[in-house]
Structure 1
Amino acid sequence: MNTRLTRTLASVTFALAALCGLAFAGTAVTHMLDDGAVCVETGFWQNAKLASDEPLPIREGVDAAASATRLCQDDPSVAQRAADLGNELPWLLFGALALLLFSRLLNAVLEQGPFTDAVSRRLSALGWLVTVGTPVAGLVVGWSHSWLVASMAPIVGSEPTVAGPQALILAGLAAVIMGKIMREGVRMREDLEGTI
């Protein structure tokens, strides 16, 4: 096992986790203190043909782009600003937590070796975070987006969707299964060492 590479990877992963955490906190604070417009993309009117004198059914204070796929609220409410954050923050938080758990997994490999109970438990924890965190983050992003669109154009009423790379759920389940297999292997090795 190349310990220098593993140690470097653990350090880089921890640094990336810290950067994601700082980006999460910084984005939340600066965005909530910002007094600019909040914009959202919608594909509702993408194929619509409206007469030039026919107004779009949007709320007062909302500007629509020429294609009516981008809506901007000039003086957004606190709820609209928070919903706009829902498009960015869930994935930053998910990334920070996943990178932190991966860094801890690599540190356990360095300290105790790859086939230990601590490594199998940390691999399972990382797998469960990815398995559960991916759809949760995707739902928060989808719900935030649909609520923000509905707050600017009530007629749209888009259904919430799950955003993001949902294929990560399979990777998370694979990590959970590998963690359980490793845990059984560790238990069997300990039983074998006890009988010899």
Structure 2
Amino acid sequence: MNTRLTRALASVTLVLAALLGLAFVGTGITHMADDGAVCVETGFWRNASLEGGLPVGKGVEAASSAARLCQDSPSVGQRAADLGGQLPWLLFGSLALLLFSRLLDAVVRQGPFTEAVARRLTVLGWFVAAGTVLTGLVAGWSHSWLVGSMAPIVGSGPTVDGSMMPVLAGLAAVVMGKIMREGVRMREDLEGTI
């Protein structure tokens, strides 16, 4: 096993986790302090031709060809909902990379086939599986609320934003963690009988 490469990868993932964490904080602060317009895209009117224009709220500009809504002087709730599409994914990515870095640290310190590595792989898998769904729901609900606040007639229901493919990867990591844990127990039993 190449511990130097694994140690370097653990360091790189830790730095990336820290950078995503800083991006999370920086994006939140700068976006809430910004006094510009908040824009959101929706597919609701993409192919519609409505007489009298689109049914949007006061102060909202809409373009049916782009299905884009913009609020010139957004409320705090609208600005926070706009962040709800970006910040959850940054936080999720930062925490997932942090857990992956800890997994690689355990591999370097104790070896790949240990109880600690199996446990950390299982924790990472559950985090990715559940975190992808939760993050997608938060981002989707924020987007839906923002669209609904600019175009009250639409009233789009909650959606899930982003790909759900990482859920499969997370569940695969959970299964691999369980398999590794059983392998560790079998090896310990074998070593105990010899």
Question: If the length of structure 1 is used for normalisation, what is the TM-score?
Answer: 0.96
The answer for unaligned runs of 5 or more in structure 2 is none
Is residue 2:184 matched to residue 1:181?
no
**How many residues are matched?**
194
Deviations 1:115-152 (A, max 9, x none): 00000000001000011000101101110001000000
- Other-structure match for 2:20: 20
Structure 2 counterpart of 1:42, one-letter code:
T
Runs of 4+ in 1 over 4 A off after TM superposition: none
SS at 1:63 equivalent: strand
Residue 8 of structure 2 aligns with an amino acid whose one-letter code is: T
For 1:39, the equivalent position in structure 2 comes to: 39
Deviations 1:17-48 (A, max 9, x none): 00010000111111111111110001111111
- Residue 130 of structure 2 is matched in structure 1 by 132
Of residues 65, 70, 73, the one that matches 2:71 is 73
Cα offset for 1:67?
2.1
Which residue is 1:119 aligned to?
A: 117
Q: Distance in 1 between matches of 2:103 and 2:64?
A: 50
Match of 1:166 in 2: 164
Q: Which amino acid aligns with 1:37?
A: A
What is the deviation of 1:55? Answer: 3.0
Name the amino acid aligned to 2:30.
Answer: T
Question: What per-residue deviation string (whole Å, max 9, x for no partner) do you get for residues 142-179 of structure 1?
Answer: 10001000000001111221111201111101100110
TM-score by length of 2: 0.97
Matched residue type, 1:35: D
Query: CA shift at 1:63, angstroms?
Result: 1.0
Aligned-residue CA RMSD (Å):
1.1
C-alpha displacement at 1:68, in angstroms? 5.7
Query: 1:31 and 1:104 mapped to 2: Cα distance?
Result: 31
Which ranges of structure 1 fall in alignment gaps of 5 or more residues? none
* Identity level (%): 76
The aligned counterpart of 1:194 is: 192
Check conservation: 2:7, 2:105, Cα contact below 8 A: yes
Of 91, 102, 111 in structure 2, the residue corresponding to residue 104 of structure 1 is 102
